[in-house]
Amino acid sequence: MTLKVSTLLSACAVAALSTAATAETITIATVNNGDMIRMQGLTADFTEKTGHEVEWVTLEENVLRQRVTQDIATKGGQFDIMTIGMYETPIWGKQDWLVSLDDLPADYDVDDILPAMRGGLSVDGTLYAAPFYGESSMIMYRTDLMEKAGLEMPDAPTWEFVADAARKMTDKDNEIYGICLRGKAGWGENMAFLTATSNAFGARWFDEDWKAQFDSDAWNETLNFYIGLMNDAGPPGASTNGFNENLSLFQQGKCGMWIDATVAASFVTNPDDSTVADKVGFALAPDTGKGKRGNWLWAWALAIPAGTQKVDAAKEFINWATSKDYLALVAENEGWASVPPGTRTSLYENPDYAAVPFAKMTLESILSADPTNPTVDPVPYIGVQFVAIPEFAGIASQVGQEFSAALAGQQTAEEALEKAQALVTEEMEAAGY
Amino acid sequence: MARAITTQRKIINTTAAWTIGLLIFFPILWTILTSFKTEAQAISDPPVFLAFDWTLENYGVVLERSNYGRFLWNSIIIAGGSTILGILIAVPAAWSMAFVPSKRTKDILLWMLSTKMLPAVGVLYPIYLLFIKLGILDTRTGLVIVIMLMNLPIIVWMLYTYFKEIPGEILEAARMDGATLKEEVLHILTPMAIPGIASTLLLNFILAWNEAFWTLNLTAAKAAPLTAFIASYSSPEGLFYAKLSAASTMAIAPILVLGWFSQKQLVSGLTFGAVK
């Protein structure tokens, strides 16, 4: 017995020593947003629990994409963890550029991750990135302006209702614009919004044989509807407006409605920054009665590049940062409204979190997005507001420029669609589809 | 009458100079002012110029969130190191081209300058892979080398122009008095070219300090300078303009002060030989 105890103690001592000896410094590439910055502030908790130190490299989103792609493709080994999105994960996972996260400990409770998020971050059932926060898109609207227009926003409106309400809310003399939507060119800017919106109109990027579909009636209807609505009820210079520009307009009380990322809800309801914080309502992104809504699905997730030498420490960090305990830690330090949303079912079952004004609509928006079956007709790709193929970012950026030019009045919607059809067809053929 | 015209012209010239100067400086002034606003004031429409509640909160947040000292130190080492190394290489190169020109000197000068015509991104991947092979990715040494190489054509050209203004007869006289090549360069040429070398040094330091392509692409956590510090406050999803402005102000402050104190040398060096 004595021998057994002493053996056990020795084993414990060795284990303790080996833990201390294997304490690592891991480098994490991330983006600058509220949730990520909050995580950086709480890193001491991770270091205290594991002994590992963390070095953060915070980059602008587009720079981050370029840097992590560059690093992973050249096996540069600069980062042990990368913050990547739903677009990159399936592409990189398929190429074996990422370490599988299927062996996270049981108490991590991987089944608690929202199915839409888990599905979007997996390849053939293998999880390659753990969601840190998830988002969809929804309508944020001014309750006072809606009331003034004599309308009541339903929880699940149609595009017809939204367009009618936008036109009624518009008062250009007083710089009130019924609707603010993305117009700035970019695959993550206007094309994220328009691709998601086109789903509601029954449009799709490609048919099942990977043939471009911009010559379809559904795309024509989508683009003409968008441009017509923005001309009647949108702010001036909308073709240069992205998320931040619209956020600024909404916070200053110049937008009746804004359809964009659910993460914006915490900004527009924050009285420190928003002049309309107490007059904001939420609704699902609109549909056209065809069975699909124009809301997207996105997650910022943590992944481990295959080239890192510190896989174990990186997994420990991911286990900490995307766990239920982390959500509780944020709630304890900064309140439930600051908890990273959209990742775990248990968060939405928590009565404390249910009291957050935008929690219910965020969850419903996330649950109603289906990346594997995004639009009315069948498609050969995954992704609601993107097509998860490596060529998409480049192609969609070019299409985005054509659509932005059409919104700016430099060409008609038909001309923009014709150019889009031609360039997408050419690029896809060149890529071997 | 002549005096009246002169005074009038002087007033017009002065006003025009101030107007242009203020127009050029306005974005920097606006950034500095924004850094003292709240995030809500930073995006207010119409914008507020001076009548806002001045706050140092953004500076506090930036200092708490980032290790400013480390970024600053990296900037000093990278900008200083690449400048000194560049000058050490460029002085003999410019000397030989100015005083011992060959048939191909003009072609070499043009060829050197032509390397600046290629967009930097065109050689990003070869250099990135080279850095991995050499193990100098995310190191100050690597950045000193690459930024020195990027600025070297400009340094050589500037020094060449200054050296060409120095009469060759003076050097010839020194040689006749028995001066060696080393003595000629160190004791005759260098003292005469000091204003030119100083302005080249300053300009190159400023260029290296502000360099944002290589410093963002070849660094991660260890060697990142102030350009990376600014970039880390840019956010596509969230309005953090006041904090971004505070970070920008902190990044440009050292170089702004340096430029302010050395403006006389910079101007005299840059206009050297412009008027004959």
* Nearest neighbour of A76 by CB, restricted to B132, B216, B228: B132
Question: Is the CB of B217 inside 8 Å of chain A's CB atoms?
Answer: yes
Asked if A78 and B231 come within 8 Å (Cβ–Cβ), the reply is no
Number of domains in chain B: 1
Structure confidence by residue, pLDDT tens digits, B2-46:
556 688 899 999 999 999 999 999 999 999 999 999 988 898 878
Residue A223 domain-assigned (yes or no): yes
B130/chain A closest Cα distance in angstroms? 11
Average pLDDT of the residues in B185-208: 87
Give the amino acid at B133. Answer: K
Query: What are the φ/ψ torsions at residue A298 (nearest 5 degrees)?
Result: -150, 150
Selecting from A55, A61, A67 the residue whose C-beta is nearest the C-beta of B221 gives A55
Q: For residue B153, is the peptide bond before it cis, meaning its omega torsion is within 30 degrees of 0?
A: no
DSSP E strand stretches across A154-214? 177-180
A288 with A213, same domain?
yes
Rounded distance between C-alpha atoms, residue B177 and residue B171, angstroms: 10
Note whether residue B120 is domain-resident.
yes
User: Which residues of chain B make contact with A34, given a CB cutoff of 8 A?
Assistant: 238
User: B30: closest CA among B42, B40, B19?
Assistant: B42
Q: Is residue B270 part of a domain?
A: no
- Can you tell me the mean pLDDT for A386-390? 93
| CA-based nearest distance A3→chain B, Å | 48
And the tokens for B214? 């290589």
Structural domain containing residue B80: 66-232
**Structure pTM?**
0.83
Per the CB < 8 A criterion, the answer to whether A140 and A282 are in contact is: yes
- Mean pLDDT over all residues of chain B? 89
Summarize chain A as % helix, strand, coil (round to 5).
50, 15, 35
Cα A151 to the chain's mean position, in Å?
A: 30
The answer on A279 and A263 residing in a single domain is yes
- Best A135, A244, A275 residue to mutate vs chain B (most B CBs within 10 Å): A244
Give the CATH number of the domain where residue B88 resides.
Answer: 1.10.3720.10
A351 near A360, Cβ under 8 Å? Answer: no
- Chain B hits for A296, CB-CB cut-off 8 Å, are none
Kindly state whether residues A319 and A389 are assigned to the same domain. Answer: no
SS (H, E, C) chain B: CHHHHHHHHHHHHHHHHHHHHHHHHHHHHHHHHHCCCCHHHHCCCCCCCCCCCCCCHHHHHHHHHCCHHHHHHHHHHHHHHHHHHHHHHHHHHHHHHHHCCCCCHHHHHHHHHHHHHCCHHHHHHHHHHHHHHHCCCCCHHHHHHHHHHHHHHHHHHHHHHHHHHCCHHHHHHHHHCCCCHHHHHHHHHHHHHHHHHHHHHHHHHHHHHHCCHHHHHCCCCCCCCHHHHHHCCCCCCCCCHHHHHHHHHHHHHHHHHHHHHCHHHHHHHHCCCCCC
Q: Give residue-wise pLDDT tens across range B73-132.
A: 999 999 999 999 999 999 989 989 998 889 999 999 999 888 888 889 899 989 999 999
Q: What is the mean pLDDT of residues A34-60?
A: 92
Test mutation, A24, A31, A32, A55, chain B, max B CBs within 10 A: A32
Domain assignment present for residue B77? The answer is: yes
Same structural domain, A180 and A209:
yes
Closest chain A CA to residue B126: A74
The 10 Å Cβ neighbour count of residue B35 is: 23
Q: Is residue A369 part of a domain?
A: no
| A109 and A219 assigned to the same domain | no
The answer to whether residue A272 is domain-embedded is yes
pLDDT digits over A77-136, tens only? 889 999 999 999 999 999 999 999 999 999 999 999 999 899 889 999 999 999 999 999
CATH of the domain at A107: 3.40.190.10
Q: Which strand (E) or helix (H) includes residue A31?
A: strand A25-31
Same domain, yes or no: A101 and A243: no
User: Does residue A16 have a pLDDT over 80?
Assistant: no
A/B interface, count of CB pairs below 8 Å: 96
Residue ranges of E strands in A239-364: 255-261, 280-284, 297-303
Roughly what angle, to the nearest 10 degrees, separates helices B140-165 and B124-134?
A: 120
Sequence-ordered strand ranges (E) for A229-369: 255-261, 280-284, 297-303
Give chain A positions within 8 Å (CB) of B65: 37, 40-41
Residues A271 and A415 in one domain: yes
A261/A146 same-domain check: yes
A263 touches chain B (CB under 8 A): yes
**Would B275 be classed as within a structural domain?**
no
Contacts of B236 in chain A (CB under 8 A): 31, 60-62, 188, 242-244
The partner residue sitting opposite B221, judged by closest CB among A27, A74, A263, is: A27
Minimal C-alpha gap between B142 and chain A (Å): 14
Q: What is the DSSP letter of A203?
A: -
Which residues in A272-305 are b (16+ Cβ under 10 Å) and which e?
A: ebbebeebbbbbbbbbbeeebbbbbbbbbbbbbb
- Report the Cα B130 to chain-centroid distance in Å: 26
DSSP A234: S
pLDDT of residue A371: 86
Paired with A130 in beta bridges are A302
Dist CA A65 CA B134 (whole Å): 24
> Torsion angle, CA of A176/A180/A183/A187, rounded to 10 degrees?
160
Query: Both A310 and A286 in a single domain?
Result: no
| B261 CB within 8 Å of a chain A CB | no
Which residue(s) pair with A133 in the sheet? A300
CA distance B11 to B17: 10
The values of phi and psi at residue A179, to 5°, are -145, 140
Confidence of residue B1 (pLDDT cuts 50, 70, 90): low
The pLDDT confidence band at residue A142, using thresholds 50, 70 and 90, is very high
Q: Shortest CB distance from B238 goes to which of A67, A267, A274?
A: A267
B220 — contact with chain A (CB < 8 Å)?
A: yes
Chain A interface includes B234 (CB < 8 A): yes
pLDDT band per the 50, 70, 90 thresholds, residue A19:
very low
Number of neighbours of residue A155 by Cβ within 10 angstroms: 12
- CB spacing of A79 vs B220 below 8 angstroms: yes
- Domain assignment present for residue B147? The answer is yes
Kindly tell me if the per-residue pLDDT of A245 is higher than 60.
yes
Question: Residue A166: what residue type?
Answer: A
Give residue B259's region: left, alpha or beta (phi > 0; psi -120 to 50). alpha
Burial level of B142, CB count in 10 A (0-12/13-18/19+)? buried
Residue A367 domain-assigned (yes or no) = no
B136 vs B129: CA distance, rounded Å: 10
Q: Does A70 contact chain B (CB < 8 Å)? A: yes
Instruction: Decide if B107 is inside a domain.
Output: yes
| Amino acid A75: pLDDT | 82
B137 falls within a domain: yes
C-alpha count within 13 angstroms, C-beta hemisphere, residue B215: 28
Contact B39 A273 (CB under 8 A): yes
Same-domain pairing of A285 and A311: no
Same domain, A61 and A182: no
| Residue partners of A248: CB distance under 8 A and separation at least 6 | B43, B45, B239
* Chain B interface includes A304 (CB < 8 A): no
Show Cβ contacts of residue A149 under 8 Å, excluding neighbours closer than 6 positions.
Answer: A165, A168, A169, A256
Residue with the two structure tokens 């998830």: A134
Residue A311 sits in which domain range?
12-128+298-354
Residue A7 covered by a domain: no
Tokens found for residue A188? 């993550």
Tokens of B92: 């003999």
For residues A211 and A308, membership in a common domain is answered with: no
ipTM reported for the complex, 2 dp: 0.79
Phi, psi of A31 (to 5 degrees): -105, 165
Note whether residue B101 is domain-resident: yes
Count how many domains chain A has. Answer: 2
